[in-house]
């Protein structure tokens, strides 16, 4: 078949686009999640009922750590992916006034990879009465949960359970619970506060716990190039060929 030279450019462009459509890889999209749990214990008041003003017999210790590996956490990665737990100042420390700690989990996965992860962080604030006095304590537990997922097939959730050791809090009938869930291109937030009022007899102790669980599941897939893109491109090149053909048919006559 003899193709006129004036149409060679248009034909070449059309052939190129068809081959590109058949051979070009699809657009790739990765996924990622970020979930954060922040717990802040705030001591509202402590009153010595035996010797007013004397707080020397009361020890207050905060603790923040990941759960033991055999219990939790776990992660499973196939292909190209990562899971990164981030903790602010883990371990135990004496507390005066307030105790704030943050646990964050970041995870990502490339196309064709999968990531599954579940982590448990322990927050606690312990009150130990080492004296013969009796104390009245008021404590607030403030928490913030934030989850963010981006990309195809991404899911994450953050949950918080808070409770006390002895179950003696008259203002707390059952353990508390909070949750924030995000999937695909989404984010979620949850914030609240819980008040604990309790009395410590001589030699007694009490601990307020908050257990934070963050999980993530990522399985990004290949995203194909939409057919409309190729149709638009073919039409564009056809217009270019038509323009060149018109120029050949209608040459400019110079004097």
pTM, two decimals, is 0.75
How high does pLDDT run on average in the chain?
80
Strands (E), the chain: 31-48, 58-66, 74-78, 81-87, 91-94, 98-109, 114-129, 135-150, 154-164, 176-183, 186-200, 205-218
- For residue 241, is pLDDT > 60? no
153-208 pLDDT per residue, tens? 999 999 999 888 665 555 555 568 888 888 888 899 999 998 888 899 999 999 99
Q: Which segment of 21-25, 135-139, 141-145, 146-150 scores lowest on mean pLDDT? A: 21-25
The domain limits of the chain are 31-218
Question: How many CB atoms are closer than 10 A to CB 178?
Answer: 19
Q: Tokens 């257990």 appear where?
A: 211
b/e sequence 154-176, b meaning 16+ C-beta within 10 Å: bbbbbbbebbbeeeebeebeeee
Least confident stretch, 112-121, 154-163, 214-223: 214-223
Q: What residues have CB less than 8 Å from 78, skipping those under 6 apart? A: 113, 114, 115
Query: Which of the pair, 231 or 62, is modelled with greater confidence?
Result: 62
Asked if 114 and 216 touch (Cβ cutoff 8 Å), the reply is no
For 11-30, what is each residue's pLDDT tens digit?
A: 544 444 444 444 444 444 68
Query: How far is C-alpha 213 from the chain's CA centre?
Result: 11
């Amino acid at each position: 078949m003899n193709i006129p030279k004036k149409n060679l450019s248009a034909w070449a462009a059309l052939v190129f686009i068809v081959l590109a459509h058949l051979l070009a890889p699809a657009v790739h999209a990765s996924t990622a999640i970020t979930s954060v749990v922040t717990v802040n214990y705030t001591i509202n008041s402590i009153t010595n009922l035996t010797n007013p003003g004397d707080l020397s017999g009361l020890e207050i210790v905060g603790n923040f750590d990941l759960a033991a590996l055999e219990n939790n956490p776990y992660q499973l990665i196939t292909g190209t992916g990562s899971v990164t737990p981030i903790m602010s100042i883990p371990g135990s420390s004496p507390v005066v006034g307030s105790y704030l700690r943050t646990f964050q989990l970041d995870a990502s996965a490339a196309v064709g990879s999968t990531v599954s992860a579940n982590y448990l962080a322990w927050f606690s604030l312990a009150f130990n009465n080492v004296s013969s006095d009796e104390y009245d304590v008021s404590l607030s537990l403030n928490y913030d949960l934030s989850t963010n997922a981006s990309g195809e097939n991404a899911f994450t959730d953050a949950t918080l359970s808070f409770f006390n050791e002895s179950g003696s809090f008259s203002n707390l009938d059952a353990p508390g619970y909070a949750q924030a869930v995000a999937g695909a291109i989404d984010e979620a937030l949850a914030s609240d506060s819980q008040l604990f009022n309790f009395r410590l007899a001589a030699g007694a102790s009490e601990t307020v716990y908050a257990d934070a669980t963050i999980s993530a599941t990522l399985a990004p897939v290949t995203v194909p190039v939409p057919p409309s893109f190729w149709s638009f491109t073919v039409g564009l090149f056809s217009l270019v060929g038509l323009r060149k053909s018109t120029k050949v048919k209608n040459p400019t006559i110079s004097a």
